[in-house]
Amino acid sequence: MELIGAIEGESYGSVKLAPEQLPDSFPPDKETIIHIEGIDWIVDRAEPIHSQDFVRKGELTLWIKKVLKFDPSDIRFSVPTISNELPAVSTDRLYYDFILTIHEDDWRQTEFIPVTELDAVQQEMKKIESIIFPDGERDLDASEGFSAIHVRTIKRTSLAIPWLEFIQLLNVNQQGALAINGHAGYVQNGFACKTGNHTYYGTINDGFITEISVDDFDSMDEETSILLKKYQLLLVCWCRGTITSS
C-alpha cells in the first residue's frame, strides 16, 4: 500500500497491511480514519475505493493527512466577545461615496446604546470582563488572545436619530455603503459615513438611524461626547470592557 501526503503530494513510502486491517471501502463522501504505526490518518482519497478491487489487484494508494489533536486549553480567541446576530444583506445600497467592509466579528463591537439600557449593558459586560480580565486586574492584554469567547444576546431598543440632523451635527463629509467580509452584497438599509475624526456605520429606517457603531475607535473626543449628550447614549466598547456616558 502506497501512502501519499494529501496536502503536499509527496510519497510517504509503502506499508504492508493485511486486508482485514482495512475497511471494506473508502467512500469519497465519508471521512475514513486509519491507524498506521501508532498514528491516526484521515484518508482524503483512495485508489481503488473498494476492498475487492485492491485485494484483487494487490495495489492500494491512499492520499492521507495526519489527524491533528489539540488541547482545548490551548485554543485562543482573537476577541473576547461577538454579537449573536448579523444584519441581513441586500444587492441595493443607499449611498455611493465609498464602501466600508468590516469583518463579521467586528459587527457592533463599539456601539452606541440608549442610556436607559445601562443595567442590561452592565449585566452583559460582567460576563465579558471575566474573560478580558481573568485575574481581576483592569489592564487589558490581548497579545496572546483570549481563553473564551462570549456571545452577546443583549436586546437593544432601536435608536431614532434623524439622519439629516446627524450628518449636519457631525459635519459628515462622505456617505457610503456597508458590507461584511465574506457576505455578498451590502448590509440591508446599511450606511457608513466619515467625519473629520471617525467612521461610523449602522442601519437606517425611514430617515432615522436605528443602530450605529464606530469603526476602528481609539478614544473619546469632543465629537463622540457630543453624540452621547445630544442623544442620551452610552458608548460601549465590548472588547475593552468599557462603558462611557455623557
Same domain for 51 and 108, yes or no, is no
Q: How confident is the model at residue 35 (pLDDT cuts 50, 70, 90)?
A: confident
Residue 72 pLDDT > 60: no
Q: How confident is the model at residue 9 (pLDDT cuts 50, 70, 90)?
A: confident
Same domain for 48 and 99, yes or no, is no
Same domain for 137 and 173, yes or no, is yes
* Weakest mean pLDDT among 5-14, 56-65, 146-155, 195-204: 5-14
The pLDDT of residue 8 is 77
The pLDDT of residue 137 is 66
- Looking at the domain assignment, is residue 95 inside a domain? yes
Same domain for 62 and 85, yes or no, is no
- Looking at the domain assignment, is residue 139 inside a domain? yes
Residue 175 near residue 163 (C-beta atoms within 8 A): no
Measure the CA–CA gap between 151 and 154, rounded to whole angstroms.
Answer: 9
* Weakest mean pLDDT among 122-126, 155-159, 236-240: 155-159
Q: What is the dihedral of CA 140, 145, 150, 156, to 10 degrees?
A: 60
Q: How confident is the model at residue 69 (pLDDT cuts 50, 70, 90)?
A: low
Give the Å distances, CA to CA, from 156 to 114, 142, 168, 240: 8, 27, 26, 19
Residue 166 near residue 209 (C-beta atoms within 8 A): yes
The pLDDT of residue 25 is 86
The last residue of one of the domains, among 10, 34, 66, is 66
Measure the CA–CA gap between 164 and 186, rounded to whole angstroms.
Answer: 21
Helices and strands in the chain, H and E counts? 4, 18
Same domain for 156 and 234, yes or no, is yes
Same domain for 188 and 149, yes or no, is yes
Residue 156 burial by CB count (10 A; 0-12/13-18/19+): exposed, middle or buried? middle
Same domain for 181 and 140, yes or no, is yes
The last residue of one of the domains, among 34, 66, 98, is 66
Same domain for 89 and 195, yes or no, is yes
- Looking at the domain assignment, is residue 134 inside a domain? yes
Average pLDDT for 184-202: 96
Same domain for 122 and 239, yes or no, is yes
pTM, two decimals, is 0.69
Alpha helices in 9-117 (DSSP H): 51-57
Same domain for 15 and 130, yes or no, is no
- Looking at the domain assignment, is residue 15 inside a domain? yes
- Looking at the domain assignment, is residue 19 inside a domain? yes
Measure the CA–CA gap between 41 and 68, rounded to whole angstroms.
Answer: 9
Q: How confident is the model at residue 74 (pLDDT cuts 50, 70, 90)?
A: low
Residues of the chain above pLDDT 70, percent = 94
- Looking at the domain assignment, is residue 76 inside a domain? no
193 strand-pairing partners = 175, 200
Return the HEC string of 123-137. Answer: HHHHHHHHHHCCCCC
Q: How confident is the model at residue 21 (pLDDT cuts 50, 70, 90)?
A: confident
- Looking at the domain assignment, is residue 75 inside a domain? no
Residue 192 pLDDT > 60: yes
Residue 183 near residue 106 (C-beta atoms within 8 A): no
Q: What is the pLDDT of residues 126-185, one digit of tens each?
A: 999 999 998 766 666 667 789 899 999 988 889 999 999 999 999 999 999 999 999 999
Same domain for 86 and 180, yes or no, is yes
50: domain range?
Answer: 2-66
First to last CA, the chain: 72
Average pLDDT for 212-227: 95
Structural domain count, the chain: 2
- Looking at the domain assignment, is residue 71 inside a domain? no
Alpha helices in 149-231 (DSSP H): 163-169, 222-231
The per-residue pLDDT of the chain, averaged, comes to 90
Measure the CA–CA gap between 175 and 192, rounded to whole angstroms.
Answer: 6
Same domain for 29 and 96, yes or no, is no
